[in-house]
Structure 1
Amino acid sequence: MTTTELRTAVPYREVRDAGGRVYRVGETDIDIMGRKRKWMVILPWVGMMGISSAEYAFASAEDTLHTAHSWSSLHIFWMLGVWVFFQAAVAFPTGRLRESGRLPARWAMMFGAFGTLLGYLSLAFAPHVVVAYIGFGMFSGTGAGMVYATCVNMVGKWYPERKGGKTGFVNGGFAYGSVPFVFLFTGYMDLTNFRWVLVGAGLLLAATVAAAGCFFQDPPKNWWPAAVDPLRPPSDPRARRALRMNPPAVRQYTPKEAWQTGRVALMWFCLLCTSGVNIFGIAFQVDIGEEAGFAGGVVATAMSLKAVVNGTGRGVIGWLSDRYGRKRCLIFVCVVLGLAQYGILWAADIGNLPMFLIFSSISGFGGGAIFPMFAAMTADYFGENNNASNYGLVYSSKLVSGLLGSGMGSVVVSHWGHTGAFTLAGSISLFAGFIALFLSQPGRPRAKNITPNPQPLGEEMA
């Protein structure tokens, strides 16, 4: 990666479209930061990989942590719920601080790296479970939330004309990075080495996050790529189709204005349902697999497949949403995620390992694909300038879904068994798909509400 030192300011101009939205044009990515904007896809992707193992591989370490520290399984599942709670809780305040300029992207990544390291150290050396709740649940979750909010919103700012595929790719890092740690925690870590395995993992992942964050930089407010005219259809067929299927926001909404449209509440509820189902699957897929009699190594393979497809699904659905529209793809993902829960339950009931692996992978696809859809849709609906804060509002639903999916999920399993719990999870996801039918871009009239001019151009002159 090369950096070019700029000696003079590059002229730019601001233009307005028919709806009054302002675009800052004339500056290229190299003019602004001295390197191609593709690095603002690659580096956030690396940063996301550095925080993923805490959520996606944590359940794989349950047995070792339970034996080593004498923590109950209920404590461990609630600990994951607390981690998810704080990861979501900081999304909105991080966005506000970032957009006000008081928290540069690089500093947010450094804080995230420190929290990641502190979380693994607490799992290794906590003298009491309360210390683990604080170190892993609170500090690691907070650090991960700062990294997540920074990385996801960074790519949308640099690719305002074609954000779906890029956002999905970056979001995929949140799952890919956990794959080696699933095998590490299930196949290598034991009572003799668990402390050093956790410390080594924490040091490696913290260094990864910090190194990626060193090169982060935001574009100016209202920035638009110099090669894409915001007032005319772009020449690039990919960008042209993406803008046609997902037109940019009619203006830049503040968080208060975005909330008043009513769309944020709908998106919040949809994400609450789907992310809760996703976290439930992460937490209890190992349990239902072991209950079905599948070997521990096979269950680890299923979790790894789930993580790989989870990450791949985020990139694929982002690309598809550029071609077919975010709303259509979101509804499709909700249905897939819901049906996959029924499939996992059916495969476990009959003891069919191949089908269990297939439905686990499908569940991973659905559970991962929901996040880039909401991230890109938030920018499409409310603009890029306040996207970190606006997406923070939507993403805050994970405050509740993490506790419901992991902590309350364990309560449901204990009372209704896996049959009742997985059936309920599938039904919740299907209901979220129904709610998504009511989403629409604020400020833009629907085609069916547009009436033709009773006097077409020219008739009044006849």
Structure 2
Amino acid sequence: MSAVPQVTPVPYQEVTDVNGRVYRIGESDRSILGRPRAWMVWLPWFAMMGVSVFEYGYSSAESTLESAHGWTLTEAFWIASIWAVFQAGVAFPAGRLREKGVLPAKPAMLAGALLSGLGLASVGHFGNPVIVILGYSVLGGTGAGLVYATCVNMVGKWYPDNKGARTGFVNGGFAYGTLPFIFVFSYWFHPGNYKLVLDLIALFMVVVVGVCGMFFKDPPKSWWPHDVDPLNRAKTEDAARVAKRLAKNPPAVGQFTPMQAIRTGQLPLMWFALVLIGGVSLFGINFQVPFAKSLGFGPLVAASSAGVLAVVNGVGRAAVGWLSDSLGRRLTLVLVLVVAGVAQFGVLWSGQAHNEPLFLFFAFLNGFGGGAFYPLFAALVPDYFGENNNAQNYGLVYSAKLVGGVGGGGVAASVISAWGYTGGYTLAGGIAFLSAATALFLRQPKRKPGESVEQKVGGLAGPTHADASS
């Protein structure tokens, strides 16, 4: 990669629709970045793959770590649960600092790279659960959370006209990026070499995330692509396609602050739905491999089921992002949550029947339903509340994983100890269906039912500005 090129400030205009929403137009992506905005898809994607090993690789490494450190199943998964708490919990404060200019995207990524590497290395060098929680869970969770939140919000800011597909693509890297490591943990990870393996993966993580983060840059507030008319008055074929997407997923009627978003009632509703399905997702990630091993399935089936879950989880995120641009974000979300509920019962039934092909099929379904909702929530937040405060607003919604992470890790381990895998998977399936029912009540704030973008827009051009901040 070359050094960040110099950019020349260009004039811009601000246009306002009848809702009072301001769109800053006239500046191209190249005039701000010095490069096409596609860089702000590919770089976050690579960075997300770099930190994916934390969430989707842990269950494959867990049995070796148990043997090496003398942990119980419950201790091992409380470490994962507390990691999820810090990974999700950092999103809102980091977003707030980012929107205020205190923690720009580049320093956030570099800090995330360093903390992630230290966190992963610590789980190999320390066996005391308290020390591992401080290293892996607190440092590693905070680092991975900084990377995750910065990458997801970066895409939403650069693609306000087409969030779904791009957000889903970047989000997917957080899942299938761990595929090589799942097989490393399943076949070449043992008490004799686990420290070296974890150190090498930690070094890889620091380098990949750090290099990608060096090139991160946010667009100006209220920026809109110069070649897309935000008021849909152009008549070209491209504009017609954009207008069709925006009719299914209309832009937010304004730029909501976090408190304004909370007062609409829609942000708390999103938060509750994500609490429910986030716990189910982490339950599937954490316990599918242990469940397969408890059934007597060999390492190939166990590793393959985890690999299928991770790959489909990631590919599914990209697919539903694209689908939601055409079908509508809320409807797509409800369908995904229903699939997640069905998958829990399918994994349980096929496992108890000792049917390996069906078990892998439902692992496929579980991977899709257990991850595809993340980019949908990530795109719904700016759809409902605007892009200017998206880092904070999405941080609030994503903080639901604080609760879901505890439920899908440590609490789930206690449930399985008491009720077995039958009780665990039955409870997870019921919770997923409750999340789908909750999502049915989501509505874009302040937009009347049945009202299209074309009925609302019709703005006035504001004054022309010379942008000195780019």
Contact 2:9-2:32 at 8 Å conserved across structures: no
Cα distance in 1 for residues equivalent to 2:171 and 2:367: 13
- One of 425, 431, 435 as aligned partner of 1:422: 425
Cα distance in 2 for residues equivalent to 1:413 and 1:69: 22
Cα distance in 1 for residues equivalent to 2:119 and 2:213: 19
What TM-score comes out, normalization by structure 2 length? Answer: 0.94
Q: Which residue of 1 aligns with 2:100?
A: 100
What TM-score comes out, normalization by structure 1 length? Answer: 0.95
Q: Which residue of 2 aligns with 1:221?
A: 221
1:282 counterpart = 2:289: no
Q: Which residue of 1 aligns with 2:73?
A: 73
- One of 265, 268, 284 as aligned partner of 2:268: 265
Higher relative contact order, chain-length normalized (CA < 8 Å, sep 6+): 2
Cα distance in 2 for residues equivalent to 1:367 and 1:425: 11
1:305 counterpart = 2:308: yes
Q: Which residue of 2 aligns with 1:205?
A: 205
Cα distance in 2 for residues equivalent to 1:288 and 1:5: 51
Once structures 1 and 2 are overlaid, which stretch shifts more, 336-345 or 231-240? 231-240
Deviations 1:224-259 (A, max 9, x none): 000011112564244222111000000000000000
CA change 1:53–1:266 in 2 (3 A) is same
1:15 counterpart = 2:18: no
CA change 1:7–1:300 in 2 (3 A) is closer
User: Percent identical across equivalent pairs?
Assistant: 52
CA change 1:7–1:195 in 2 (3 A) is closer
* 5+ long unaligned stretches in structure 1: 453-462
Q: How many residues align?
A: 450
Cα distance in 1 for residues equivalent to 2:233 and 2:338: 33
Q: CA deviation at 1:29?
A: 0.2
Contact 2:73-2:413 at 8 Å conserved across structures: no
In structure 2, give the amino acid aligned to 1:71.
W
Deviations 1:378-415 (A, max 9, x none): 00000000001000110011001001111100111111
Cα distance in 1 for residues equivalent to 2:7 and 2:178: 42
Q: CA deviation at 1:448?
A: 8.5
* 5+ long unaligned stretches in structure 2: 456-470
Deviations 1:116-175 (A, max 9, x none): 111122111115221111100000000011111100000010000111000000000100
Cα distance in 2 for residues equivalent to 1:204 and 1:381: 37
Cα distance in 2 for residues equivalent to 1:233 and 1:281: 46
Cα distance in 2 for residues equivalent to 1:184 and 1:211: 24
CA change 1:118–1:2 in 2 (3 A) is closer
- 3-state SS, counterpart of residue 57 of structure 1: helix
Cα distance in 1 for residues equivalent to 2:311 and 2:66: 26
Deviations 1:89-121 (A, max 9, x none): 100001000100000101100111111111122
Q: Which residue of 1 aligns with 2:458?
A: none
Q: After TM superposition, what 4+ stretches of structure 1 lie above 6 angstroms from structure 2?
A: none
Structure 2 counterparts to residues 44-443 of structure 1, below 5 A: 44-233=44-233, 235=236, 236=238, 237-443=240-446
Deviations 1:265-323 (A, max 9, x none): 11001101111000001111112111222102210111001000000000000000000
Cα distance in 2 for residues equivalent to 1:188 and 1:448: 57
Cα distance in 2 for residues equivalent to 1:438 and 1:127: 46
Contact 2:312-2:367 at 8 Å conserved across structures: yes
- 3-state SS, counterpart of residue 15 of structure 1: strand
Cα distance in 2 for residues equivalent to 1:100 and 1:50: 27
In structure 1, give the amino acid aligned to 2:221.
K
> What value does the CA root-mean-square deviation take over the aligned residues?
1.5
Deviations 1:197-236 (A, max 9, x none): 0000000011111011000000000000000111125642
In structure 1, give the amino acid aligned to 2:183.
F
Cα distance in 2 for residues equivalent to 1:21 and 1:344: 47
